[in-house]
């Protein structure tokens, strides 16, 4: 087990999207239940979080929520308590988090996209956020072609100056990996701002230096939201979920 544990940190997983990019492959199966080898992505996700000591997960669900809830009830996790919050109409990522907020109990919480997996130490990320004092921190990774994702501009102190949109041939750089650490101040601010998008309506409207960037370096990560990336998921995730938490 890592020295810094997520045992007292609520984990919010955003998984209410329609999954339109992956629908040609999955059909009416939600992304969380996408098959990877002989398991679902959700199984890998829970084992990954368990490896960092996570004990409480809040799933923000929407489209095809009943399938996910039925699966969790039929396959309860041995150590993780799972709570589900279902949006009855699409609210966007920011709207979904506003709905989830009353269920978050911990001083520091992690928020992550339900189709993202990153090969880095999430417990260290949470501890670094706690020590840094920012309202929110964004886990960032380094890639060879940042133009596919959009660059995160960071100052020498590790605070975010700006977000740059996707640009062809941008070259290597730091990108948002879809995992965030929130203090209570971030939740309060999110409740006050309008708009459905966490990235566009919340992060990109914050004053410079309000947000911190956590540079995880050149680590494995994948978004299983496209047919191509789902096909590669077994190579990247494989059986590694819990192992990273124990390193």
Q: Which residue has the tokens 């309506």?
A: 201
pLDDT digits (tens, 9 = 90+) for 132-175: 999 999 999 998 888 778 899 999 999 999 998 887 777 899 99
Domain count of the chain?
1
Give the separation between CA 243 and CA 15, rounded to whole angstroms.
Answer: 24
Domain of 63?
10-246
Give the model's pLDDT for residue 228.
Answer: 83
Contact 125, 91 (CB under 8 A): no
Q: What is the pTM of this model?
A: 0.91
> 106's torsion region: left (phi>0), alpha (psi -120 to 50) or beta?
beta
Residue 4 lies in a domain: no
More confident residue, 116 or 180: 180
Residue 66 lies in a domain: yes
Residue 2 lies in a domain: no
pLDDT digits (tens, 9 = 90+) for 91-143: 999 999 999 999 999 999 999 999 888 999 999 999 999 999 999 999 999 98
Q: What are phi and psi of 145, to 5 degrees?
A: -125, 85
CATH number of the structural domain spanning residue 235: 3.90.550.10
Residue 65 lies in a domain: yes
């Amino acid at each position: 087990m890592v020295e810094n544990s997520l045992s007292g940190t609520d984990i919010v997983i955003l998984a209410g999207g329609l999954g339109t990019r992956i629908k040609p492959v999955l059909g009416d199966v939600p992304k969380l239940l996408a098959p990877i080898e002989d398991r679902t992505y959700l199984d890998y996700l829970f084992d990954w979080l368990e490896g960092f000591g996570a004990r409480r997960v809040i799933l923000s669900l929407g489209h095809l929520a009943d399938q996910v809830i039925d699966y969790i009830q039929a396959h309860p996790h041995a150590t993780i308590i799972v709570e589900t919050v279902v949006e009855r109409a699409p609210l966007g990522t920011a709207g979904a988090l506003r709905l989830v907020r009353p269920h978050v109990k911990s001083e520091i919480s992690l928020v992550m996209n339900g189709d993202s997996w990153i090969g880095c130490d999430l417990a260290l990320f949470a501890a670094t956020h706690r020590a840094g004092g920012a309202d929110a921190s964004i886990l960032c990774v380094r890639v060879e072609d940042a133009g596919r994702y959009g660059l995160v501009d960071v100052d020498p102190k590790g605070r975010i100056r700006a977000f740059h949109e996707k640009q062809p041939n941008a070259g290597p750089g730091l990108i948002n990996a879809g995992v965030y650490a929130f203090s209570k101040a971030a939740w309060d601010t999110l409740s006050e701002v309008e708009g459905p998008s966490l990235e566009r309506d919340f992060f990109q409207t914050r004053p410079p230096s309000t947000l911190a960037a956590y540079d995880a370096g050149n680590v494995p990560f994948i978004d299983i939201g496209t047919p191509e990336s789902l096909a590669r998921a077994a190579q990247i995730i494989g059986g590694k979920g819990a192992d990273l938490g124990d390193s």
